[in-house]
């Protein structure tokens, strides 16, 4: 069981396959919440540079960083994170506004190394297609 107390549990975080979904439902979750699994969906608002980065072998891990916005979020570890994460302050939204022009210019240039590429730990298994197709692939068999 996921919870010792008798409350409904919504499982979230790192779920990207039918096996993942089936596993948490079998463990007692009443529902699942998935984000990263839909980043490559036709209907998703992900930018072209975001989509390309998610499918690029140049990225090998995600990290939790406050470097882009001043509060913690998980993304693909790129040059901006490597160069700024250690000294980045907790300062949302000031850091968000400070880094915004750099992030926009990087994205406009098609460069994923100086913009935020948000992604959960399961990004490698994110699938393309319509949301309906992705949902069908995630349904427990
Ligand atoms: C593009 C994107 C933006 C997100 N923005 C937020 C956010 O503003 N605040 C937050 O708490 N979580 C945010 N999340 C994380 C979601 O809470 C997370 O995706 C969800 O818990 C499911 O985890 P998963 O992505 O591993 O499936 C974001 C995730 C993505 C992919």
What confidence score (pLDDT) does residue 5 get? 66
**Beta carbon of 11 within 6 Å of any ligand 1 atom:** no
> What is the average pLDDT across 27-34?
97
What confidence score (pLDDT) does residue 6 get? 81
- What is the Å distance from ligand 1's center to 3 Cα? 22
**Beta carbon of 92 within 6 Å of any ligand 1 atom:** no
**CA angle, residues 35, 122, 57, in degrees to nearest 5:** 120
Q: How confident is the model at residue 140 (pLDDT cuts 50, 70, 90)?
A: confident
Token digits of residue 84: 């700024």
Q: Is the pLDDT of residue 2 over 90?
A: no
Q: Is the pLDDT of residue 141 over 80?
A: no
List, in sequence order, every residue forming a beta bridge with 99; answer none if it has no partner: none
> Which whole-number Å values give the CA distances from 97 to 34, 69, 106, 108, 127, in the listed order?
28, 8, 15, 17, 32
> What is the average pLDDT across 62-85?
98
> What is the average pLDDT across 40-45?
98
Sign of CA dihedral 76, 53, 38, 118: positive
**Beta carbon of 118 within 6 Å of any ligand 1 atom:** yes
What confidence score (pLDDT) does residue 3 get? 57
């Amino acid at each position: 069981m996921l919870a010792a107390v008798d409350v409904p549990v919504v499982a979230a975080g790192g779920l990207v396959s039918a096996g993942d979904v089936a596993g948490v439902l079998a463990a007692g979750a009443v529902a699942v919440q998935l984000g990263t699994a839909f980043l490559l969906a036709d209907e998703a608002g992900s930018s072209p540079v975001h989509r390309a980065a998610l499918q690029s072998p140049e990225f090998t891990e995600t990290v939790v960083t406050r470097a882009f916005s001043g509060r913690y979020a998980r993304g693909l570890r790129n040059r901006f994170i490597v160069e700024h994460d250690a000294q980045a302050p907790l300062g949302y939204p000031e850091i968000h506004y400070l880094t915004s022009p750099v992030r926009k210019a990087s994205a406009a240039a098609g460069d994923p190394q100086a913009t935020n590429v948000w992604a959960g730990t399961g990004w490698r298994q994110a699938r393309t297609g319509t949301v309906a197709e992705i949902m069908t692939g995630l349904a427990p068999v």
